[in-house]
């Protein structure tokens, strides 16, 4: 054992062995539970902006009327469950082609984008986070493309 300790001090690539611990003592039981689909559908809709694409977003160009329509729609949608959101406000799936291709910039290949209408012509472009009631907003457009 003395030789092993000496080696680990002399060579930074040698890592001393850790004591093996039961996995149950590291992960609390509630952390290991994955919500079922019904729990996710019933949970209040949340919005996130970690994949927000400023290059294609037109939020800064909204007039007062459009901005008010957008905030009213987002507030309304955040007060309902994700399942109700999908049934009531989800519009079309956005194909990865043509003028819509720019919306997929810097996104993973397995992402499917959708749109929600606001203020008659405006669109919120988003995707659903897996195993969550969170909607990831990618872009806000003044007008349907």
CATH assignment of the domain containing 59: 3.30.2310.20
pLDDT tens digits, one per residue of 115-127: 999 998 999 999 9
Determine the pLDDT at residue 117: 94
Inside any domain, residue 17: no
Q: Is-contact 126 135, C-beta < 8 A?
A: yes
Determine the pLDDT at residue 93: 93
Determine the pLDDT at residue 27: 55
Inside any domain, residue 18: no
Q: Rounded to whole angstroms, how far apart are CA atoms 32 and 136?
A: 24
Inside any domain, residue 120: yes
Inside any domain, residue 43: yes
Say whether pLDDT at 137 is over 90.
yes
Inside any domain, residue 85: yes
Which has the higher per-residue pLDDT, 43 or 8?
43
Inside any domain, residue 44: yes
Q: If pLDDT is split at 50, 70 and 90, which confidence band does 8 have?
A: very low
Inside any domain, residue 86: yes
Name the residue range of residue 96's domain: 35-141
Give the sign of the dihedral formed by CA 121, CA 126, CA 127, CA 131.
Answer: negative
In whole numbers, what is the pLDDT of the chain averaged over residues? Answer: 81
Inside any domain, residue 28: no
Helix (H) / strand (E) element for 87: namely: helix 82-88
Q: What is the pTM of this model?
A: 0.71
pLDDT tens digits, one per residue of 83-121: 899 999 998 899 999 989 999 999 999 999 999 999 989
Q: If pLDDT is split at 50, 70 and 90, which confidence band does 80 have?
A: very high
Token output for 16:
């001393």
Q: If pLDDT is split at 50, 70 and 90, which confidence band does 143 have?
A: confident
pLDDT tens digits, one per residue of 33-59: 556 777 777 888 899 999 999 999 998
Q: Rounded to whole angstroms, how far apart are CA atoms 61 and 84?
A: 30
Q: How many domains does the chain divide into? A: 1
């Amino acid at each position: 054992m003395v030789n092993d300790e000496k080696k680990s001090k002399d060579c930074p690539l040698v890592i001393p062995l850790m004591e093996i611990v039961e996995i149950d003592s590291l992960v609390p039981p509630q952390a290991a539970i994955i919500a079922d689909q019904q729990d996710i559908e019933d949970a209040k809709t949340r919005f996130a902006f970690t994949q927000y694409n400023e290059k294609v977003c037109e939020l800064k160009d909204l007039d007062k009327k459009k901005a008010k329509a957008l905030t009213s729609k987002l507030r309304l949608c955040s007060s309902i469950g994700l399942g109700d959101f999908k049934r009531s406000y989800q519009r079309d799936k956005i194909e990865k082609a043509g003028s819509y291709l720019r919306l997929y910039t810097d996104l993973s290949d397995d992402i499917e984008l959708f749109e929600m209408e606001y203020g008659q012509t405006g669109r919120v472009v988003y995707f659903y986070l897996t195993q969550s009631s969170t909607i990831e907003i990618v872009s806000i457009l003044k007008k349907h493309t």
